[in-house]
Amino acid sequence: MKRRATQPSQEPEQDLLRRLELAEHTIEAIRAGAVDAFIMHQGEDERVFQLETAWQPYRALIESMGQGALMVSCDGTVLFANRFFLRLVGGTRDTVPGTTLAAWAAAEDAILVDQALAAGRDREADIEVDLKGADGRRVPVRITVCPIGGGENQPLCLTIADLTERKEYEALQRAQLALRKSEARLLEADRRKDEFLATLAHELRNPLVPLRNGLKIVEMAADAETTRRAREMMRRQLQHIVRLVDDLVDVSRITLGKVELQLKPVQLDELLGGALEAVQPLIDEAHHQVRLKSERPLYVEGDAVRLTQVFTNILNNAARYTPPGGRIDVVLEQSGDDAVVRVTDTGRGIAADALPRVFDLFTRMSPDGPETPGLGVGLSIARQLAGMHGGSIEAQSDGPGQGAEFIVRLPLAEPARERQGGAPRATARSGPPMAASGGRHRVLIAEDNEDASRSMALMLRMAGHDVREAHDGATAFDLAEWFRPHLVFLDIRMPAVDGLEVARRIRGKPWGRQMRLVGVTGWGPQSAEAVTRAGLDEILFKPVEPDALLALVKATPIDAYPREDAR
Amino acid sequence: MSVAPRLSDPSAAEPGTDEMWELRLYVAGQSAKSITAIANLKRICEEHLHGRYTIEVVDLMERPQLARGEQIVALPTLVRKLPVPIRHIVGDLSNTERALVGLQLRPRV
């Protein structure tokens, strides 16, 4: 069909009718609310004007969406903020529009907001900042600025995404990672502990061999010389086991933080001399040459026993890991506020990759020659003790075969307090003077381990003393009351009533005030305070050196307590 | 083939069933009624003019000058260009019956 022109038809009436019809139809449509925009002439141009209702669905969308939406004027004033944003910052339609956006950002982020608004005129800009709500809470958000064109004075559209969940997720991830690292470390520590236990078993069993054999030899031997040699060997092995156990206990206690230092001014060069003496047997055996050099006396505030242990351990190491005929140099000097001791050896040296692990617990060098005895704890103990004194130990080596140097730094004691150093560990209480008084003593042994008790008692009886045994605390107290011993050996760790409790009870009685009470423990020194509070005169460590035991009894005054009122 | 137009009243001519309909919908951007009109128009055309229509959507917000000479006042307005005569239907076409009557797809009652 031919296309008709869109001109009004030739019949003006028809045309008029049509136009009227259209006009009526248009008015009807307007009244019916079926339109939401008008097009009008503005001078030469046509322009479209929309009714407010035109944007209702979009407004609803903007108000209900799960992101913040803002309209911001070119000077940063908020013109419109949707419900999400208002909720985010704890604001209302009255408190947010009209303010600047930067005012809702955390103080340090305000400048970033302004920068983003400036950049957002030309291209989309994205920043992550913290908003600061009306109640002061901080919300991490991402602000996206969208230019809508139209020139300098057009407002900007912003969307605000709440990053709280994402940040929480990231924090969780980090926590998980930390946990995994922690787990790895724990597994590694566990593995090292297992290795250590295997080493320990091995190390403890070795001296047991000659001990067991030695006993047999003594049983079988006919002549005194063989017996004597066997006894010597067993004594040595016993010493060795005692040392191993000491090391083990030390490591445990230091790690658990149960070691207390008795700090006094200590003269380092004297102390070093003492440490060298302790290691002398090892040095002589290996025919090492040792030189001790110190320019002058230097004092540090320290625990003499523990500091000696530090240097003994280092020197032991030097002696053991240097082939026979080597050299060990010990140099003491001052460096700034520290005393510095350098122990240099011409020994096996330490490989670069092993250097950082040299102070680790249970690490030992792989054996070259015969396996070096020990648990691999000496250097670790030394470092921890040095640290407890406010100092440090460093190991240096040029590599395998190039020897090694251990550098100990300790803060110098204030010169005004320089005095004679190296005081021995104080005893808890001064009792009656220990005059040598030979003769038959009454001794009470309180020890729950029957073999330990029996062997101690037998030894003391063989030395001529009157000995009674108690295997628990309550019995010990009763025995002390009627037996009235001159000396009581109290095992500290007994079930129910322990050694300290027995001591307290005894001291609470008039007959017990002057009784000599000696605590015996396998764990470690109780604090001086605990010892004093319980009323013990002294503490000894198991296994007590038998000669020391006998000497102690011998030296206890007999007439301090006559037994007239007892059975 | 087509129904012969009534010569006495061209504006009352009934459109035939074979001819191609050309429809032009004038809208105001994405206003609520505009998008409603687009949706309604598509539906009506599919139902009643399947396969024989074209729809052109003219956004007067973008190019207002296209309204010139078209006797358009309110938006949205649907203009049937073909078949002649030109018909205007103003509004969002939600009232389907009235829209069909306006398009002359239904007789006026």
- Three-state SS at B78: strand
Residues 469-528 (A) with a CB less than 8 A from some CB of B: none
Give me the amino acid identity at A488.
V
Residues linked to residue A293 through DSSP beta bridges, in sequence order? A331
**Number of C-beta neighbours around residue A75 at 10 A:** 9
**Number of C-beta neighbours around residue A189 at 10 A:** 12
Whose structure tokens read 């939401």?
A36
Q: What is the pTM of this model?
A: 0.48
d(C-alpha A248, C-alpha A261), whole Å: 18
**Tell me, what's the pLDDT at B87?**
92
d(C-alpha A530, C-alpha A514), whole Å: 19
Angle at A480 between CA A474 and CA A486, to 5 degrees: 145
The mean per-residue pLDDT over the stretch B3-29 comes to: 67
Interface contact A55-B32, CB threshold 8 A? yes
Q: What are phi and psi of A33, to 5 degrees?
A: 70, 25
Alpha helices in A221-331 (DSSP H): 224-255, 268-285, 304-320
User: A45 — contact with chain B (CB < 8 Å)?
Assistant: yes
Q: Which residues of A touch B34 (CB under 8 A)?
A: 36-37, 54
User: A29 — contact with chain B (CB < 8 Å)?
Assistant: yes
Cβ proximity of A510 and A480 under 8 Å: no
What is the DSSP annotation of A356-414? GGTTSTT--PPPSSSPPPS-S-HHHHHHHHHHHTT-EEEEE-SSTTS-EEEEEEEEBPP
Interface contact A34-B91, CB threshold 8 A? yes
Measured between alpha carbons, how far apart are the two ends of chain B, in Å? Answer: 27
Residues linked to residue A538 through DSSP beta bridges, in sequence order? A518
Best mutation target among B41, B63, B72, B75 (most A Cβ atoms within 10 Å) is B75
- Three-state SS at A274: helix
Interface contact B88-A25, CB threshold 8 A? yes
d(C-alpha A140, C-alpha A138), whole Å: 7
User: A36 — contact with chain B (CB < 8 Å)?
Assistant: yes
Please name the residue of chain A whose CA is at the shortest distance from the CA of residue B36: A34
Nearest to A26 among B64, B67, B90 (CB): B90
Shortest distance between the Cα of B102 and any Cα of chain A, in A, equals 10
d(C-alpha A408, C-alpha A396), whole Å: 11
Cβ proximity of A502 and A476 under 8 Å: yes
Angle at A414 between CA A411 and CA A419, to 5 degrees: 110
Q: Which residues of B touch A53 (CB under 8 A)?
A: 32
Interface contact A35-B95, CB threshold 8 A? no
**Tell me, what's the pLDDT at B10?**
44
- Three-state SS at A488: strand
d(C-alpha A351, C-alpha A398), whole Å: 8
The pLDDT tens digits for A175-213 are 999 999 999 999 988 887 887 777 778 778 878 888 888
d(C-alpha A508, C-alpha A504), whole Å: 6
User: A3 — contact with chain B (CB < 8 Å)?
Assistant: yes
Give me the amino acid identity at A421.
G
DSSP state of A77: B
Shortest distance between the Cα of A47 and any Cα of chain B, in A, equals 6
Interface contact B32-A53, CB threshold 8 A? yes
Which portions of chain A are predicted below pLDDT 70? 1-10, 149-152, 362, 365-375, 415-438, 524-530, 559-567
**Does B15 sit behind a cis peptide bond, omega within 30 degrees of 0 on the bond before it?**
no
User: B79 — contact with chain A (CB < 8 Å)?
Assistant: no
Any residues with CB less than 8 A from the CB of A510 and at least 6 apart, and which?
none
Cβ proximity of A360 and A352 under 8 Å: no
Cβ proximity of B77 and B66 under 8 Å: no
The pLDDT tens digits for B54-100 are 999 999 988 888 988 888 999 999 999 999 889 999 999 999 999 99
Show the tokens assigned to B107: 């007789």
DSSP state of A9: P
Question: For residue A234, which of A209, A258, A267, A257 has the smallest C-alpha distance?
Answer: A209
Please name the residue of chain A whose CA is at the shortest distance from the CA of residue B60: A48
Q: If you compute the radius of gyration of chain A from its CA atoms, what whole number of angstroms results?
A: 45
Give me the amino acid identity at A322.
T
d(C-alpha A354, C-alpha A364), whole Å: 10
**Number of C-beta neighbours around residue A383 at 10 A:** 25
Shortest distance between the Cα of B17 and any Cα of chain A, in A, equals 12
**Tell me, what's the pLDDT at A421?**
45
The mean per-residue pLDDT over the stretch B34-43 comes to: 91
Ordered strands of the A138-146 beta sheet = A78-81, A68-72, A156-162, A138-146, A125-132
Whose structure tokens read 């209900």?
A64
d(C-alpha A109, C-alpha A90), whole Å: 18
- Three-state SS at A174: helix
d(C-alpha A320, C-alpha A4), whole Å: 117
Cβ proximity of A127 and A112 under 8 Å: yes
Q: How many residues does chain A have?
A: 567
Interface contact B84-A3, CB threshold 8 A? yes
d(C-alpha A300, C-alpha A35), whole Å: 97
Exposure on the CB side of residue A528, measured as CA atoms within 13 A: 10
